[in-house]
Structure formats: C-alpha cells, structure tokens
Amino acid sequence: MKYVLLLISMVSLCMVSFAQTVPYNAVFDLTSKDTNDHKTVIRWLNGISKDNHDAKLEVVLYGQSLDMVRSDRSVVADAVKEFAAKKNISFAVCAASMKRHNVTEKDLLPGITVVPDGIYQIITRQKEGWGYIKVAH
C-alpha cells in the first residue's frame, strides 16, 4: 500500500512539474467575418493573458476575417490595439487575403503584422510547438 501511495504521489508531482514547465504558446486560426468570432477570440486572449502572463499568443487572420483588424470596420478595435501593443500577443494578417480583398496596410489597426501566407504562418507556429486553436462558434 505504501508503494501505491508513493507511486501516486510521484505521478502527481511529475504532472505538476510538467504543467509548470511547458510554455503556453497558442496560435489562433481566424477566417470568419462573424463579429461573434472576433469577440470570442478577444475573450480567450483576455482569459489566457490574465492567468498566464508569459503566454505567447498569436491570432492569424485570413479569408473573410480581415474586418477584425481594419480600423474602419472592427467591432473590437480597442481590444485589438491594446493586445497588439503587448510583446507576447500578436495579430498576423495574410498578405494574399489582403490583396484579394483590396485591403492595404494603411487600412489596418496599429501594431498589426502582415505575413505572406496565413496558413503557412500557422504551420510554422505548429512546427515550433505552438498549440492550435480554430476560432469558431
């Protein structure tokens, strides 16, 4: 019985140790024009960043989602600007999607990064060990 309790204690200690040493890096895949999805990703960023101050978070936008980071259309502009100003949270917009939707860098909120290919950006983050979250409701 002592050995079983010792083993359970050791497993619990290992789990706690593991949970504290794995970096919290997550990439969010956003393709939706739906403002509810835009609000959802902001809510997730708020929750994660409050509980995990060192978390690295990146929202990759492509397809129909560009309105989230457009200065003239975003319903979450204030939150995006606040998060984009932090060193550990970024918003990466696909240049190909921008071209397809006639969006220029001047149309974007301050602090937004433009990447050549949004899907490749997600693949790169996953290869680096980042977790993947598809934003949808």
- Give the pLDDT confidence score for residue 4 in this predicted structure: 39
- Give the pLDDT confidence score for residue 30 in this predicted structure: 98
| Mean of pLDDT over the chain | 89
Tokens encoding 121: 């950006």
Starting at the earlier edge strand, list the strands of the sheet with 131-134.
113-115, 89-94, 56-61, 25-30, 131-134
9, pLDDT greater than 60: no
DSSP 65-87: GGGGGBTTT-SSHHHHHHHHTST
| pLDDT band, residue 22 (cuts 50/70/90) | confident
Predicted confidence (pLDDT) per residue in 23-36, tens digit: 999 999 999 999 99
- The DSSP code for 101 is T
Output the pTM of the full model. Answer: 0.84
**In the chain, where are the structural domains located?**
23-134
- Give the pLDDT confidence score for residue 6 in this predicted structure: 36
- Give the pLDDT confidence score for residue 137 in this predicted structure: 79
Predicted confidence (pLDDT) per residue in 38-90, tens digit: 999 999 999 999 999 999 999 999 999 999 999 999 999 999 999 999 999 99
Predicted confidence (pLDDT) per residue in 113-129, tens digit: 999 999 999 999 999 99
CATH fold for domain 23-134: Hypothetical Protein Ychn; Chain: A, (3.40.1260)
**97-103 average pLDDT score:** 98
In the chain, beta strands by DSSP E: 25-30, 56-61, 89-94, 113-115, 131-134
- Give the pLDDT confidence score for residue 20 in this predicted structure: 58
